[in-house]
Structure 1
Amino acid sequence: MRVAAIILAGGAGTRLTVLSHKRAKPSVPFAGKYRIIDFTLSNCVNSGVFDVAVLTQYRPHSLNRHLGIGRPWDLDRSRGGLRVLQPYQGRGHQEWYRGTADAVLQNLEYLDEVRADTVLILSGDHIYKMDYRPMLAFHQEKEADLTIAVMNVPEHETHRFGILTTNRQSRVTEFHEKPDTPEYGTLANMGIYVFRADVLRTVLPALGEQHPDLDFGKHVIPALLETHKVYAFPFDGYWVDVGTIQSYWEASMDLLRPDSPLQLYDRSWVIHTRSYERPTAKLGPQAHVVQSMICNGAIVRGRVERSVLSPGVYVSPGAVVRESVVMNDTWIGPGAVLDRVIVDKDVVIGAGALVGVGDDVDTPNRTEPDKLNTGISVIGKAAHVPPNTRIGRNVLIHPDVDEDAFAPFDGVVPSGETIE
């Protein structure tokens, strides 16, 4: 069995609001020093899969810089290794990827180049640790055309997933993409597929003529159920789609639990990433750190409680960071307080500023009510928050805004507001 992996990494991640304004969702920082895509890439190499193609599209520059030639993941190889593929225009029909399966359809020649007979198709925007080898063995044992990784989800979340029904032999008998009701069960499609390469070569071109926006969940899986052998492979480990602000924040807080389900410190399954040389983290004489992750290059002179601080973050004396995620090279001024805030890179929080004030967590954001409604405020990259400003819950601050953008609020930004 010759396996190649294709990682879908072109998503815009609009539900992450300003965190994905300037980068693709797989490139969003996570767990301090990592990017989201690091988990899928590390799963591949830890599972012995070294032919890996990453399909990019939306704002790929940050992701391309991070991937480089694949050295951190041992994918800088003369044969095989990492390939970054983006849409292009030529004399054929190549154009922007219009669906998950359309992206694979436009890159079928990659499978011929690496002579793959089995294809592992993955999403680059999920947080999980998984050894793909048992799933590949299951696929081979069942002589399946397609094997789908599945897990049980709560009933109230079934509308977010494709839901499968299986028989006693684990063969998929029904598939419903994001059903409105939980009547079809709770066995959810994780977006992890193993295909026979020949099935992709024959099925995708035929379906692509009928569906320009060809998608695995909407089109490919339902079509294969009628004509091919489709099986479900159960997964019972930690897996989360950090596609919303709430899920991103919850997954970040999961890292801080004494019994963290992700186990980043497991030496038998290392999560690799591209690292930059910085000095070790430094705690000043007034520092007080409780149940937090502090990355290299960070300097803490204030109080940090149940938070994740990325490399280069500076917490001034008297400042408090509570249940927050703070990304690279952010400066938090003296006496400033962050409470349940996600802060992107290179942000300046002025002295005495209070972000995440009040108990009105149910006041949704004015411009993004469906994305910011659980009390978490978000600050975009390189924004400057003026000193002594009070900012409520569910506030959205766009990237690059300067202190003048706050002037109309006269020092008090109510919950649910947006600063642009």
Structure 2
Amino acid sequence: MTPKKSTHGQQVNKIGLQHTMLFLGMVVVLFLFFQLTVIPNFFAQFVVPLFKPSDEKMDKIGFVQFSGTVYASVPKDKEALLTGKNVEISKDLINREYIFDFSSKSRELDVDGYSKKSNEWYVRAEALGENAIILEPWIGATILAIDLSLLFSALFSILLPTRIGLVSALFDRQIDETKDKIRLQTGFSPGIVELLTLPDDKLAEKEYADVRSEFRTIFNRTFLEISENKLDRYEDYITEGDDIVKFRNHFLYERIKEFFSDFTVRQITDTKNALLWRRNHFKIFAGLRLYMSHHVTEKYQNFVTGLAYGGAAFLIVAVGIRGLKFIPAAKPSFILLAIFLEFTMLSLLAYTLIYTQEEERTDKMLKKMEDANRSQLDALRGQQSDIHQLANALVGQTAEIIKNRVEVAIEKYMTSDDKVQQVIASEIANKIIFGLRETENKK
């Protein structure tokens, strides 16, 4: 099956099985990588410095790192022997005052000095109370792992060719869709839209003669009255040898902004920048802005806002359940799940709002509406005047026709040999004379 083509002649990349499977494969691999490797190390580097023995305490006990992400306090005389040895933790080596175990290994009280399952993390410290804290990473840290895997999968997908990269194919398709939107909103031909969105370096390679016709069409289409009876002329603003890039970016864009809207110009400039991403996929933010501003925020902003409120509701419920003691203080995994979920939703909402187009000020919108209505009113007045003149002309011609026909009829009847017709003609003439006299008396 041949790829579908847009109105601009570009092949539109359809999202196929290869895009979806590759993206899902990256998500799964990265999820396992973050969940089993990165996140345990992150939590260890975050928690251990906060709750490890203080300097005063370290004068009495030792504190070493065992194999993997396992830290524990040891007798002072064993600290030098165990530091940097990467040995497995055991009951005989630790004093059980401080234990930080973020590994995926199960522990037995008789062998290791404490007990935990393979899917749990174990944290014991003086500042955390008498009971150890048990964290379940597959509950508390799963959302964070999903976030990171989706983020990095999307970044990798942006860099891939459009034939296999899911996000890059979406970006590429959005470029053509936005061009079609510009064409429909402005009424310009596909060739003119291509010229408006052409990157600056490509436009600079063209000669003025190559773009003069299109520039004139844009100029005439976005006419602006500078006086009551005089219209601005294209030749007054550009001549042979002028900088066509500067003329387009400043003058024509400004006319389009005044004639259509700010949003139309933003669509044009964002598409122009996205074409730079099409040439070089490492210019991620150029393509990202177009997709976020003209697709995600337009179609999914309310959905994202709803997710943020839903995450907040979930967090409130989780905290409420924790307050009722249904979630033990020693097992806060469910609270972590709620916190990371709300963090995800708020981050998504914030990122969406960053790319949301700012609305025009109310006074500017009213001014534009007033100008548009005034222009329409002037046009209607002109049409009314033309119709009135036409009506007067038609009425005058009709009255003259009626007058001529009445004169011919009366003359015919007056000269007729038929006495009846003569009497009728005489009576009609008398009626007309009587009517004219009444009209004069009223005046």
User: Highest Rg: 1 or 2?
Assistant: 2
The structure with the greater share of residues assigned to helix is 2
The normalised TM-score by structure 1 is 0.18
TM-score with structure 2 setting the length: 0.17
